[in-house]
Amino acid sequence: MSVDLFIEAEKQGGHNVKRACELLDVSRAAFYARRNAAPGPRAVRDKELSERIGAVHRESHGTYGAPRIHAALQHEGERCGRRRVPG
């Protein structure tokens, strides 16, 4: 469990965020900055690619694995490495 998830769980449980941050030696400002931050470009791209991978898999009626999905994405002009497509 990451520190941020633990602090968030403590917060939801009605505990003091300041105290949890002190005990875990984490800055409250950093905790809130990470909590409220927008996703980075890699996360956004991963989400888009994941949706496209799911669509290709569904279109194949669940028969395509990673190599065929990657080939289909390449054929459509989607640029991604083979290892970005989960197997």
Q: Where do the domains of the chain lie?
A: 3-36, 41-84
**pLDDT tens for residues 20-70?**
999 899 899 988 998 888 888 999 999 999 999 999 999 999 999 999 999
Neighbours of 78 (CB within 10 A): 16
> What is residue 37's predicted lDDT score, i.e. its pLDDT?
87
Backbone angles phi, psi at 17, to 5 degrees: -65, -40
DSSP string, 53-82: HHHHHHHTTT---HHHHHHHHHHTT----G
pTM: 0.63
Helix (H), strand (E) at residue 47 = helix 41-59
> What is residue 42's predicted lDDT score, i.e. its pLDDT?
92
pLDDT level of residue 72 (50, 70, 90 thresholds)? very high
> What is residue 67's predicted lDDT score, i.e. its pLDDT?
95
> What is residue 1's predicted lDDT score, i.e. its pLDDT?
53
Extract the tokens encoding 7.
Answer: 């602090």
